[in-house]
Amino acid sequence: MRVLVRDVGHTYRDRAGHAVEALAGVTFTVEAQEIVAVVGPSGCGKSTLLSMLAGLLTPSAGSVGFDGDLPAGRPPTAMVFQEFALFPWRTVQANVEFGLEEAGRPPADRRAIAGRFIELAGLGGFERKYPHQLSGGMRQRVGIARALAVDPAVLLMDEPFSALDAQTRQLMQEELLAIWEQTRKTILYVTHNIHEAVWLADRVVVLSRRPGRVLEIVPVALGRPRTEAMLGERVFVDAVERIWALIKSQARAALREGVA
């Protein structure tokens, strides 16, 4: 399933009633089974873009859409949020089953499907635990399992690891890549972390400060599966340096404007 973003703009009203242009003329695609990361200064509209693809917002201009066969009953997207967004009164099993329950799947199907993705996320044995009994990394894995359980065509990820400590974040990046190797989902991944974007993605869309526009789409010529040794490769370093060179002045300007 391809993701198509065509000349997208979005304007909203702030608390004072003033029009704020968040995005302007954004165009790019995400190919089937590709991981594309989106980076840019704070306030450049990255999360707004994901919300439009998830159907939570409507573009003020342009269009977002999908190209490819979508079996009946299969949602085009599922979202993994920055906050863990789990139901505290539900167990791991019940959290992962939630989307299937909403879709009206029979209980036996829900249990089997959720069980598969709980195992895939490395959470076997924790089915009856509640969110407060889990570490931050485990809670985020529950969120990923819940999103995958509904079998979306596209997985949308909004800074999913930003609340984690550095070591857990690195481990979760590796977990995500391992899950991708098995599922080959199309993924659009928003992050502030340039190293994370390059490490995970096939291409990185670099947005300007508000209103967000595409400055450049940077290809990442690293092989797959990704290994830690690649972090020292010239290809990795060059991509990080290229993206930082694009963002640095934009981020500084956003900071001066009080956006960051």
The predicted pLDDT at position 87 comes to 94
Per-residue tens of pLDDT for the chain, all 260 residues: 899 999 999 999 888 889 999 999 999 999 999 999 999 998 899 999 999 999 999 999 999 999 887 766 667 999 998 877 899 999 999 999 999 999 899 999 999 999 999 999 999 999 999 999 999 999 999 999 999 999 999 999 999 998 888 898 999 999 999 999 999 999 999 999 999 999 999 999 999 999 999 999 999 999 999 998 999 999 999 999 999 999 988 777 767 776 55
Q: How far apart are CA 158 and CA 167, in angstroms?
A: 19
Q: How far apart are CA 218 and CA 100, in angstroms?
A: 37
2-76+153-256: CATH homologous superfamily? P-loop containing nucleotide triphosphate hydrolases (3.40.50.300)
Where, residue-wise, is CATH 3.40.50.300 in the chain?
Answer: 2-76+153-256
| 184 vs 160: CA distance, rounded Å | 18
Contact indicator for 49, 26 with CB cutoff of 8 Å: yes
Bridge partners (DSSP) of residue 64 are: 5
Taken as a whole, the chain contains a residue count of 260
Sign (positive or negative) of CA dihedral 169, 171, 177, 182? negative
Contacts of 132-138 with C-beta under 8 Å, sequence gap 24+, read: 132/88, 134/92, 135/168, 136/84, 136/163, 136/164, 136/165, 136/168, 137/164, 137/168, 137/171, 137/172
Question: Which pLDDT value is given to residue 98?
Answer: 95
